[in-house]
Amino acid sequence: MTITLTQYFMMEEPSDLRHEYLDGEIFAMAGGTPNHNRISGYENPTDYFGGFTAT
Q: Is the pLDDT of residue 12 over 90?
A: no
Distance, in Å, from the CA atom of 47 to the CA atom of 55, rounded to the nearest integer, reads: 18
17-28 average pLDDT score: 89
State the chain's mean pLDDT as an integer.
77
pTM: 0.51
Q: How confident is the model at residue 34 (pLDDT cuts 50, 70, 90)?
A: confident
Distance, in Å, from the CA atom of 40 to the CA atom of 3, rounded to the nearest integer, reads: 28
2-21 average pLDDT score: 88
CB 50 within 8 A of CB 29: no
